[in-house]
Chain A
Amino acid sequence: MANFNIDAKSNMTYDAIVIGSGISGGWAAKELCEKGLKTLVLERGRLVEHITDYPTMNNDPWDLDLRGAASVDDMADRQVVARSGFVGENNKHFYGKDSENPYREEKPFLWIRANQMGGRSLLWGKQTYRWSDLDFEANLKDGHGVDWPIRYKDIAPWYTHVEKFAGISGQALGLPQLPDSHFLPPMEMNCVEKDIKARIEKEFPGRVMTIGRVAHLTEPLNGRGQCQSRNRCDRGCPYGAYFSSNAVTLPAANATGNLTIRPFSIASEIIYDEELGKATGVRVIDSETKETVEYYAKIIFCNASTINTTQILLNSTSNRFENGLGNDSGQLGHNLMDHTYRVGAHGKFDGHEDKYYKGRRPNGIYIPRYWNVDEKTNTDKFVRGFGYQGRAERSNWGAGANQEAFGGEFKDSLMTPGDWEFFITGFAECLPNYENKVYLDKDKLDQWGRPTLVLDAEFKENELAMNEQIQIDAVEMLEKAGLKDIVGFDNKHGMGYGIHEMGTARMGRDPKTSVLNGNNQVHAVKNVFVTDGACMTSSSCVNPSLTYMAITARAANFAVEELNKKNL
């Protein structure tokens, strides 16, 4: 495979440095390298080469003593990640060790880290949705947060740009609140999902149910294979069928010959030159040797993931920036957002008992936002809105645990598929709120001597009002769709479970109230760009990764133009 150039010793100076190699860092590297910039990617953890470093990708349950579960000893270093319920023997090596990266939860905040090349792009849910002007205009219209400095028209061509290369499957609908992507063919709904879709759309005019839009290939693209419905994505895909930095952007960056990637490199701070009035490089701690090394470049892209990026900026202090690089507004670290998670309803469906499906589709259905999208749908209960993900499938032997039965007949009855079950679970937009914040704890250093972080954030009135509505609407939709044994649920999770943390270095029009401008440049340090989730000014209710990709590609191309004009 790729044989990445990891020789960062012979050269300390580059055209560009990219901090982080996850979803946004991979895109920054690809765009900058393809435009001819010698680019150094600083990776916090180890290298993970596509396929070569996916040791568990073909494991069946019985190949492991614990059938895929991770032992208490294995999880001892991953106590935060364990709370997500998503970690097992087959994917634990792609999650960071929480014990090595301590943080304090002033209020409960599940902070999922993935410290290796590719970051969480190896683990993400692959749901990919464009934002619309309903999202980009929201802050301006209802007064929460500050106005986005960009609109849909600014980013639309960049959505297309990244979608063509990443490969996004989905169904075009022409909805104003959920613009269509450049789509590969949609995945198929199963028979029950099709029935429920028809009933919901009939009973609730204005509500739509569609197949999830996902970064899975439904036909081959650029040498990558199409999805084989194994649903073992979070171990790494042998076909490269889902989008990850490892399978898609980093190999493309590497193919230019312009990429150097340095593993085990903790970016501790960005070096600021007061005379030049710009950043000159990045101070790096080698996580293995604990040595400090400095790398220099004309431009720096921060893509360490939302909270890590802000940690680096907060830790980059100088006479000019006593409270963190670019923090003239005092907004750095504030306005942390996520989506609400695990509130909805499930039930059983009568019919189609003689039908089944083939494959473990790594995707479900999506019900786009329908509240507050126009005059007719406005409510005074909350601002913004929510969407639902969900799926129908037949229960298997696991359903036997609840059945009041045991013995031979019971056992043999579990050999054939059980009831059709269906659920929807909501994701609500989270308002930017100054009180939701991260800050440095200078009294508690990590093993590399860096101040650790304190996370102090919670869902507030508007999010909780939406969660109530999510459950009410979910139960009502399932009832009208003819399901039975309907159960509404709300796990009342704190923030972080959506794993969509956003904000803390927001874009804006005014340097007095925001950290970044409309091209993702730090207002006061124009050669530093932040294009991961930290840059987000609001959170929409749809999954953010596609927007990180598009914003990154847009900013990288702007940066190269500015360099060529000698403006940086």
Chain B
Amino acid sequence: MSLQSLLREKRVLVLCGAGGVGKTTTAAALGVAAARAGRKVLVLTIDPAKRLAEAMGLSEAGAEPTPISPERLFAGQEPGQGRLDVWMLDPRVVFERFVRRLSPSPEAARTILENRLYRFLSDLVAGMQEYAAAEALDNFLDEGRYELIVLDTPPSRHALDFLEAPGRLARFLDDRIVSLFLPEEKGRGGRLWRKTSQLLGNVLGSVFGESFTQEMRTFMGAFSGLFSAIRLRADRLRSRLTSPDAAFLLVTSPEGASLTEAAFFRDMLHEKGLPFAGFVLNRSWAREDGLTSPEALLRHVEDAGAARDGVEALIRLADLERARAEAHRGVLARLAEKLPAGAVAVAAPEAGGELEDFGGLVRLGEALATS
């Protein structure tokens, strides 16, 4: 299988990797390639660098995905059936919608959204981007508006956090546990429950202060109606992502730390039974450029002088470049070892961190898909 066939067949592509390895750029380029090949694609990203956002024509985080105009998408080829939307995730928008959709009544939704604590939710909960990514992905998959969703995972060290987050929330939202935090009701629970509840009450009161604890309990009470829905959705997303419709790509740079991270992700995916589809090696010189050695320039210069020094300096740079390229090809070869059947290891051309415009994404996408 090549990246091209992944782009043709899958419904979800999840890109994981350490921060700073060009994950967002890769996600965008793959989305562009799939859309140019005729599919209806959504690229879901969080906090892209400004230049990349500009290259895609995104201004601000909006409430809806932004369509890329067909003129831009199909520049240099016949316009096709494909479509590309890009959405810069805004956790606040995702959650507000989530609350409105799942609340039993508009009044219940308003109670939650107007709670003082709700406004701080995404500040207080540092994993909120992860929750939001999982929620948005699940939601778009459910709607079925897109044939392919490319998800650029949030830049946490553990890129699988976005999968863990709903599970963690769901574990906490275990009814027996949550009920301990809810406003007290007479006659509920057994003796053990009452004792634990009392201990928690004491602890929370001492730690957060009595008035905040009361406020939090009220908020949890209002929110608790949504808990079973959150649990169900966490399970649903997990089963979707373990299906053959999904594929996980690990993006890495040739740096040691990033490679260690990629190997770790691969093991995690395996352990969790998630479909690992291969590696994309970014920021490397692994691709051949087939250029002439600069020694050839020596015959055009005098025996001494600035020009000769310059060419000699270029020769030293070429040596460095060769050594580096060779090291990077070694990295690629090691990534390609022990791949599961059908998985790929692909080196991206060195974009040098320079993506000036949409055309750059088109070229990168084509290079990735066809290698």
Tell me if chain B binds chain A.
no
**What is the interface of chain A, defined by CB distance below 8 A to chain B?**
none
**What is the interface of chain B, defined by CB distance below 8 A to chain A?**
none
